[in-house]
Structure 1
Amino acid sequence: MPLYEIIGQFKIFRHIFCSRIETFTQETELEVTLQDVCQWNQHFHATFDDMIERLSEEYDRVTLSQLNAQREMIQELSAPVIPVSKEIGILPLIGEIDTYRAKIILESVLEQASRLRLTHLFIDISGVPVVDTMVAYQLFKVVDSAKLLGIETIISGIRPEIAQTVVKLGIDFSKVNTEHSLAKSFRKKRISYL
């Protein structure tokens, strides 16, 4: 239920409460002063305001938690390691890579590759529009971390404009296995594919 609808119910209940106080003061034989009514109203409204504040805080906490969980799921799904055989996987990267996504890629890819017991991981970056220093650094971290896990990596899909950017930025790819395309990477490793 949307928060505005919940708060709308509080508004209705406030109106009912105020009507009941008015009816009570008219029908009771007790002496009810204006000061009594004002105190009841103050206490009632303060209590309702506290309830609305707590409800809003909890609603916000739950909403943020759900958004973060969805964001993490989307990010993890945006870096899937696809097994193509018992020991070989492909990581097709697509779209912009910011610092947060790069961190998720590093953590997610290593966990997936380890769980799948891969010996080879082909990282295809043909769908990444820009490779800057940060993206290159994160790719190196994936390659180095994978190597520590006994996983050989090959990066493919480096387009001419990305190659020029990498050279202009002075990024050293000499210690990284690279190939023009994923198909060439497979041929180099003598891996047959459909």
Structure 2
Amino acid sequence: MKRFVDIELYDLLEKNHDSIFSDMVMVQLTHRNRPVNLPKEIPTIMVKAINSLLLDSSHFFHSHLKEWTAVVTERGFYHTTPISCFAELLRQYRQIYSGYIEQFIINQGKSINPERTCHWLILINEGFDQLLSQFIDQLDSSKKQHTIHGTSASVLPLVGQLGVLPLSAPMHADGIELNLKVVPDQCVNLNVHHLFIDLSGVAVIDRLIAEEISKLAKILSMLGISVTISGMKPEAALYTIQSGIDFSRFTTASTLKQALRNYGVQLATE
């Protein structure tokens, strides 16, 4: 038979769902003086998952965990957030929950024994440990996909609100389609307003790859993120034109260095 005091704690946490969510957002905004822009679905589902542990039902927790993993994967959160950063966020989230549990115990007076308190804390910690484990699994899976397809699309922050997306050979259409889907979220999370897509490491661009790059640039443009394409080899540029792929609507430069200089960035070597 379920002990009623667990239901009371669950009800308290559910009642304070919005407050817990707000506390999590505040932690993100003040994290190591570098705000972490989590899509709101991630902490929202996280709160539901952790709270469900108090119902002693692994079904509810794993259902929420599956939903949380799907959102993390879809938004590409693990591409822009180091493991150490996410682990630190979870540590502070644990503290938030510990604070609510402590307040609940104080309000209950002496009616709660230490064993039950330890049980709650163990449940909460195990829940956060599984979230971290799932995050690492998704990151490892992503790295394996990048290795298989031979390309890794990661936006690197530069000065101000500039970012660069270096692409390198070998490239395959299915791999680049998989990886480039996360680039818009990366740009938003890194607050990038202008992205340099550098192709200097790519010797050959086929029609499908050119179409994916063009599609990405259009999506970024719709998000208010301007694009410069740099480093395209002459033969690649010729093939692109012959294939009917129009890059003329985007700013181009022969090298990334030239692109940065054209944008007004003062390079250290100059």
Could you say which TM-score interval applies, normalised by the shorter chain? 0.5 to 0.7
| CA 1:69–1:119: 2 relative to 1, 3 Å | closer
Could you list the per-position Cα deviations for residues 123-176 of structure 1 after superposition, in whole angstroms to 9, with x for gaps in the alignment?
100111211111111011110111111111100001111122122223222112
Aligned to 1:89, what secondary structure does the other structure show? strand
| CA 1:66–1:123: 2 relative to 1, 3 Å | closer
CA distance in 1: counterparts of 2:143 and 2:248, whole angstroms: 37
Q: Which residue of 1 aligns with 2:161?
A: 87
Q: Which residue of 1 aligns with 2:253?
A: 179
Q: Which residue of 2 aligns with 1:134?
A: 208
Q: Which residue of 1 aligns with 2:145?
A: 72
CA distance in 2: counterparts of 1:177 and 1:66, whole angstroms: 33
- Return 5+ residue gaps in structure 2 as ranges: 1-137
Q: Which residue of 1 aligns with 2:219?
A: 145
What is the CA-CA distance between 1:66 and the residue it aligns to?
10
CA distance in 2: counterparts of 1:178 and 1:125, whole angstroms: 11
Whether the 8 Å contact between 2:150 and 2:171 is mirrored in structure 1 is no
How do 1:24-173 and structure 2 match up within 5 A? 68-72=141-145, 74=147, 78-173=152-247
Could you list the per-position Cα deviations for residues 3-44 of structure 1 after superposition, in whole angstroms to 9, with x for gaps in the alignment?
xxxxxxxxxxxxxxxxxxxxxxxxxxxxxxxxxxxxxxxxxx
CA distance in 2: counterparts of 1:101 and 1:80, whole angstroms: 13
> Aligned pairs, how many?
130
CA distance in 2: counterparts of 1:73 and 1:171, whole angstroms: 25
What is the CA-CA distance between 1:189 and the residue it aligns to?
1.0
CA RMSD of aligned residues (A): 2.4
Runs of 4 or more, structure 1, over 3 Å off, are 65-70, 72-77
In terms of Rg, which structure is larger? 1
TM-score, with length taken from structure 2: 0.44
- 1:142 alignment partner AA: L
| CA 1:158–1:69: 2 relative to 1, 3 Å | closer
Whether the 8 Å contact between 2:151 and 2:175 is mirrored in structure 1 is no
CA distance in 2: counterparts of 1:94 and 1:177, whole angstroms: 20
TM-score, with length taken from structure 1: 0.60
